């Protein structure tokens, strides 16, 4: 697949919460070939600090050749992006990695579950838009988990696409009180051949993967990890696998989307 390193122009900046921003860049080369689950590496400064680019899941692509990123301000690099002015440009490398494998869907699939936690909703909205394009809205449910109400992201964006959305929070401030696997238990156990697509914190992905393994449910996870290069040159994003012939995979090159049973969660 082609790879582009482009100076992308910021055309819109939406403040979602006090620390989360939705940034829209004009970049039709990457947008034209990106698939849900892929990511970009973005230069987050004008000098050498920070020296390395930062990875961001592709949140959306538009028909006008734009790429949307969801950015949480946690350090100098993300703060730089949040403070960009309309018309300014940043260097963007992508699309990178392997996206969600939708070839596993069939007429026998009774339920498609999108399971997101916190910033993990970022690649799932792009995936939801592709499922909507394939007329699979009626087969799909979105399950969102967070610590509290303010961390539930993109709730209305999923609903605007027509998807059924259920929420759960640790403190019960929105939806049910509990963890997201409880929503899976309530909705997936009685389904015939459901499939799960998930992204979120490592602990959530481990719990979702365990639930799916125990119930023989296909599950793909988009993993979040620190990356230095995004092209498997630095070997810094290695995660252990259950395959004795390939003990480690690299999230940037082999992922970020994996079959959840491929990851050795107990070694992380």
pLDDT single digits (tens) 154-188: 989 999 999 999 999 989 888 899 999 999 999 99
Read off the pLDDT band of 132 (50, 70, 90): very high
Q: Is the pLDDT of residue 87 over 70?
A: yes
What is the per-residue pLDDT for 52? 83
pLDDT single digits (tens) 202-224: 999 999 999 999 999 999 999 98
Q: Is the pLDDT of residue 1 over 60?
A: no
Q: Where are the domains of the chain?
A: 4-96, 102-267
What is the pTM for the complete model shown? 0.95
> For residue 121, what are its two tokens?
């909703």
Read off the pLDDT band of 8 (50, 70, 90): very high
Domain 4-96 carries which CATH code? 2.40.30.10
The arithmetic mean of pLDDT across residues 234-251, rounded, is 89
State whether residue 20 is helix, strand or coil: strand
Nearest to 180 by CA among 157, 151, 156: 151
**237-242 own/partner pairs: CB under 8 Å, 24+ apart:** 239/263, 239/264, 239/268, 240/264, 240/267, 240/268
Q: Is the pLDDT of residue 243 over 80?
A: yes
Helix (H) or strand (E) holding 131, with range, is: helix 121-133
Domain 102-267, CATH 3.90.870.40 — does that match? no
pLDDT single digits (tens) 38-84: 999 999 987 777 778 899 999 999 989 999 999 999 998 999 999 99
């Amino acid at each position: 697949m082609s790879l582009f390193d482009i100076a992308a122009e910021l055309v819109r900046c939406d403040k979602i919460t006090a620390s989360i921003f939705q940034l829209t860049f004009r970049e039709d080369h990457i947008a034209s070939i990106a698939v849900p689950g892929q990511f970009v590496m973005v230069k987050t400064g004008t000098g050498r600090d920070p020296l390395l680019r930062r990875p961001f899941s592709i949140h959306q692509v538009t028909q006008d050749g734009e790429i949307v990123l969801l950015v949480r301000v946690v350090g100098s690099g993300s703060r730089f992006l949040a403070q960009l002015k309309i018309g300014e440009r940043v260097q963007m490398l992508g699309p990178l990695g392997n996206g969600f494998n939708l070839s596993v869907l069939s007429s026998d699939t009774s339920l498609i579950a999108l399971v997101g936690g916190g910033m993990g909703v970022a690649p799932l909205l792009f995936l939801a838009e592709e499922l909507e394009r394939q007329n699979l809205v009626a087969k799909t449910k979105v399950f969102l988990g967070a610590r509290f109400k303010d961390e539930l992201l993109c709730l209305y964006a999923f609903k605007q696409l027509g998807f059924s959305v259920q929420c759960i929070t640790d403190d019960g401030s929105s939806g049910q009180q509990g963890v997201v696997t409880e929503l899976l238990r309530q909705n997936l156990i009685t389904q015939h051949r459901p499939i799960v697509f998930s992204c979120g914190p490592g602990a959530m992905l481990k719990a979702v993967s365990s639930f799916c393994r125990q119930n023989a449910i296909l599950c793909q996870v988009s993993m979040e990890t620190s990356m230095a290069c995004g092209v498997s040159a630095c070997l810094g994003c290695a995660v252990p696998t259950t395959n004795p012939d390939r003990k480690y995979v690299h999230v940037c090159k082999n992922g970020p989307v994996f079959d959840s049973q491929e990851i050795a969660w107990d070694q992380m």
